[in-house]
Structures are given as structure tokens and as C-alpha cells.
Structure 1
Amino acid sequence: MSAGRVDIHLGDNLEVTRGFADGSFTLIYLDPPFNTGRARARTLESARPVRPETEGGIVRRGFHGRDYERLRSDLRTYDDRFDDYWGFLEPRLTEAWRLLDPQGTLYLHLDYREAHYAKVLLDALFGRDHFLNELIWAYDYGAKSRRRWPTKHDTILVYVKDPAQYWFDSDAVDREPYMAPGLVTPEKARRGKLPTDVWWHTIVPTSGREKTGYPTQKPEGILRRIVQASSRPGDRVLDFFAGSGTTGAVASALGRHAVLVDDNPVALEVMRERMPHAQVAGSRSQ
């Protein structure tokens, strides 16, 4: 399989993506900065005024008839940090939804601080019938607290643009070993099993070909599974917070056309070194 095209854009993802056509991506992955309380550089922008009915294909009614704005207001009373974080994230999710093809899928990668808030608000924003999965990526690395259960997982929320026609190919996904191979036939044990919604996968090893040194780098195995299941060769894949470029490296190797956006010049240099064939928007090489 020939490598797919990779286009890299340096800039604010909200501004960059507004230049892309409606419905132009089959798969969109967002791995935003987690709301840890640390300072982060970003541009806050309020979402458009909304109505409790449907606006631009986005559902604006929450649970028990509460509209989206009311639901967000309720959550604000529980955590003022979340309101600031959601003010950053909401317009980007709205933009991602516009860019999704009718067969498209959106993956939002979060940690335990925001996943529960985001699930409730995304159901109101996009509609509960568009929710496909809550994926748990579990790993076992790093310091462990002795005063509570150590938090060793991330959450990936999965929403589809159209529940009647979204693309999902389980046969294309790499299989994994059975946890108890003695309980299945030798043939099944050799073949392996389809992954469930809980993914045990190590973080990026400290040594090895994947390691770029970028602090928030995600392992290729996690992105490979996402790209294999929710896109086909030739499809366009978008990463709003590209970082080290793992989405692009995986998508390109699988014959997809990857579009990567990040506002960090360091990320741009890491991606260019990792993917020498990538085209940088606005550069002479494009």
C-alpha cells in the first residue's frame, strides 16, 4: 500500500479548519489539552447563539427537555474550571461536526477530569442517538498513588454523524490475544479476538522507533485501531491537535490522506522530521 498524503497546517485550529469544506472528512480525531489547571495558550471564542431546536444539523436539546444552554449552565455551577475549558473546546467540536462526512466518525480523547462532563454535553450538542462508544484506553505506567485507586486510563468518546450510514469496519482492525486462550479453540487463539471498548495498550515506550520526545505523544497502536475501523484507504482524516503527528504517521501508512493542525512550531518540526513526505501549508514544497 502506497503512503497517503499528509498536509500540515501551523496555526489555530479553529481558524485553519474554517477554510475546509463541509463534510470533507471521514474521520476526525481531537486530543485537546486536558483541563489539569495548568496554563495553556489558546484563543477563547464563544459559540454561536443557539436555539433549543436543531441548528445547522446540531441538536440543541438536553436531557429531560432541558436545552443545551441550560444544561451547560447547570454544569457550570459544579465546576467553574469546566466552563472555561468548554468555552475553549465547544466551538472546535462544533466545527469538527460541520466537517464530518455523513459516513464520518468523531473521536474525542479526554482524561477523567472532563470525560463525564463532555459526555453529557455532547449528547445534548449532537444528539444521544449519535453516540457510538465510550472507549477506555488503559495503561500501567508511572507513579501510583497510595491514597486512592491510581488513575491509569484515558477516555475516548466516539460520535457518528449519521447513525444510519456511518463507516465501521471491524474486520480491518488488528486483533489482540485472548486473555484466557485456553478457554477458546486453538484456531481462535491463533487468530486472536476483536478488541472491545476497553483497550489495554502501553504508552509510548521511552526507547524505540516511535519516540519523538514530544510530551503528549500518543502510541501508534491506539491511532491505528481508530483509523482502521473508521476510515478506508483514500479517505481524509483530520487531527485538530496534531502534536507529534501520530495520527498522520498512522493514517499515511494505511493509505489515508491526513490533514494535521497544530499551533506549536515545535510540533511542526517534530512532524516534519517524522514524516519527510508531508506537505506544509504555505511552504514552497507544497
Structure 2
Amino acid sequence: MSADEPSRIIHADNLDVLPTLPDGQFTLVYLDPPFNTGRAQERRSTHHVRLPDATDVAHTATSGAITGFQGKRYERIRGDLLRYDDRFEDYWGFLEPRLAEAWRVLADDGTLYLHLDYREAHYAKVLLDALFGRECFLNEIVWAYDYGARAKRRWPTKHDTILVYVKNPGGYWFDSSAVDREPYMAPGLVTPEKAELGKLPTDVWWHTIVSPTGREKTGYPTQKPEGILRRIVQASTREGDWVLDFFAGSGTTGAVAATLGRRFVLVDENPEAIAVMRARFSGVADVEFQVGAPAG
């Protein structure tokens, strides 16, 4: 994929599209999959994906066997996890082959951001240790926000978790200097110059949700704020790099990538998401819409 190719928005099942994408072409893969809330969801039957050989991460590509977390076989880890929750197998049967494809299409200096909530983040961490190799874990980002339930019998849940993994722990791209700074929580404790400049974000991000009356609002129910995606794209890509989001939803990843001069591929099978993205990208140049998976 070259810098002169147009960005693409594809209306299709992402598991049909992913095998048609070339190996190692995306510097950033951001995924915001449906959370495993216990509600029934339709899905196609899935298959295991053969990962490429790699000498710098803990993988083998022999008949679906993957050596990862503490040298254990991947099938053993998956099997152990399935026993925790009777809903877990259906959800991870859906997500597992897509994560394997994300590893394949990620560039050698690329980064995966997997956005989940408290229901599945701990399972995902162990499975990604197996798929990527435990040494490829970079961060657990906590996005804390200011809305939601007011529980009386437990602490109200007011955060999401974003797991960050790199393809090559010795050579990934990360530029903290490109990231928008944020205000100090106690500006009186630093010099006026530092207070004016702001500080670099940590792994805890305080950021409001998309305002119901703000300019960003598209009406899509799971829309994420541009500020969260801007920070990710700024840190983990360069201008001209390719970004992939195959649970695209309202298209926030692509909107931010376009603003920052990155190319993108967005995939979603929901007609409502595609309609939202058509409206959102109507004035953006060099964006093609496709129906169905490209020819492999």
C-alpha cells in the first residue's frame, strides 16, 4: 500500500476483508470491538489464521500452534481461559481470528491498540500475550470519563481499558513529543512556564465522552471522542502512514487520521455505521467507499 493510494471505507464482514490486506502494511491498528455484555450476537463460523514466521517474537507457525506466554502452547492458554465464563468461548471465537489477522497486517514498527471494558480486558491481556508475545506488551491505558451509572452497591464503573501491543519490541514507532499536552492537575506545584506548556499524558487519560450537543456527535451509539484517537494516532504513526480500524463504527479513527495526514482503511458491516461514515467523510478528499471484500 503506497502513500498515493486513496483511503478506503469498506462495507463488509471484516473477517472477509482482512485476508485480502497485505502483510505488514499498517503502522497502527486500532480496534474497538463490541464488548461482551452477555447479549446475544450473530456471528459467522470462524477459523484459525496462520501467523507468519518470526524470530524476534514468541511465535511458531506450525499447524496453528503458537508458543507465547511463558513458553506455553497457545491452545492451552485459550483452553484454560474458556473455563472461566460460559459466554467467553462465543466472544473469543468471534474476536480471536481477527486479532491474529491484526498481528499479520501490522508493520514491523507498528502498534495495536485494543479498546475494551472491564468485562474482557483481563482475558484479552493473556490472549494477546500468547498472540504477540509477552515482551510485546507496551501499556495498559485507562480512559476515565465522567458519565454512566450511579451504582449504590459497588464502585461505579467509569473507565475503559486500552491494551497496547507492538509488533517488534526492539523497533516500534512512538513519538511522545507529537502528542498534545494536557493541563497539570496541580499547576501551582510547577513553574509558570511548565504550567503553560502542560504535561505529557501518562497511562491514565481523563477525557470526557462525546458531548450529546457537540460538533463531533454523529448519533452513532458507541462513538468515541476524537481526542482519544488523536493521541493514539499522534504517538504511534507518522504523516503518510497507514491506519487500520476494522470495527470502524462512526469512523472516528479515519476522521482523525485524515486530519493528521495519515491514510486509513475502515471496515464495518453495519449499514448504519456506513451511512454515518458517508455523511462524515462527504467533504474529505481521496476516500473511496467499497461494498464487499476486495478480491484477494
Q: Specify the TM-score bucket, using the shorter chain as the normaliser.
A: over 0.9
1:116-265 alignment runs, 5 A limit: 116-265=122-271
Measure how far apart 1:265 and its partner are: 1.0
Residue 148 of structure 1 aligns to a residue whose secondary structure is: coil
**8 Å Cα contact 1:62-1:71 kept in structure 2:** no
**AA partner of residue 273 (structure 1):** A
Residue 185 of structure 2 aligns to a residue whose secondary structure is: coil
CA distance in 2, matches of 1:133, 1:100: 17
Percent identity, aligned pairs only, is: 70
Q: TM-score, normalised by structure 1?
A: 0.92
Partner of 1:34: 35
Measure how far apart 1:6 and its partner are: 3.2
RMSD over aligned CA atoms reads 2.0
Q: TM-score, normalised by structure 2?
A: 0.89
**AA partner of residue 174 (structure 1):** D
**AA partner of residue 254 (structure 2):** G
Cα distance change on mapping 1:279 and 1:163 into 2, 3 Å: same
Partner of 2:121: 115
**8 Å Cα contact 2:50-2:61 kept in structure 1:** no
**8 Å Cα contact 2:68-2:132 kept in structure 1:** no
Cα distance change on mapping 1:93 and 1:191 into 2, 3 Å: same
Measure how far apart 1:78 and its partner are: 1.2
Residue 151 of structure 1 aligns to a residue whose secondary structure is: coil
Measure how far apart 1:282 and its partner are: 5.0
**AA partner of residue 70 (structure 1):** R
CA distance in 1, matches of 2:65, 2:166: 13
Q: Could you report, residue by residue, the CA deviation over 1:243-283 in whole angstroms, capped at 9, with x for unpaired residues? A: 00000100000000011000011111100101113310259
Partner of 1:269: 275
CA distance in 1, matches of 2:105, 2:236: 15
1:281 to 275, 278, 290: 290
Q: Structure 1: give runs of 5+ residues left out of the alignment.
A: none
Q: Structure 2: give runs of 5+ residues left out of the alignment.
A: 52-57
**AA partner of residue 8 (structure 1):** I
CA distance in 1, matches of 2:194, 2:94: 46
Residue 20 of structure 2 aligns to a residue whose secondary structure is: coil
CA distance in 1, matches of 2:69, 2:12: 36
CA distance in 1, matches of 2:65, 2:189: 45
Measure how far apart 1:24 and its partner are: 1.0
Q: Could you report, residue by residue, the CA deviation over 1:142-182 in whole angstroms, capped at 9, with x for unpaired residues? A: 22101100111100000001111110010000000001111
**AA partner of residue 55 (structure 1):** A
**8 Å Cα contact 1:138-1:201 kept in structure 2:** yes
CA distance in 2, matches of 1:53, 1:259: 27
**8 Å Cα contact 1:59-1:124 kept in structure 2:** no
Cα distance change on mapping 1:38 and 1:185 into 2, 3 Å: same
Measure how far apart 1:7 and its partner are: 1.1
**8 Å Cα contact 1:174-1:225 kept in structure 2:** yes
**AA partner of residue 28 (structure 1):** V
**AA partner of residue 24 (structure 1):** Q
Q: Which runs of 4+ in 1 moved over 3 A?
A: 62-65
How many residue pairs get aligned? The number is: 278
Residue 230 of structure 2 aligns to a residue whose secondary structure is: helix
Cα distance change on mapping 1:249 and 1:59 into 2, 3 Å: farther
**8 Å Cα contact 2:65-2:73 kept in structure 1:** no
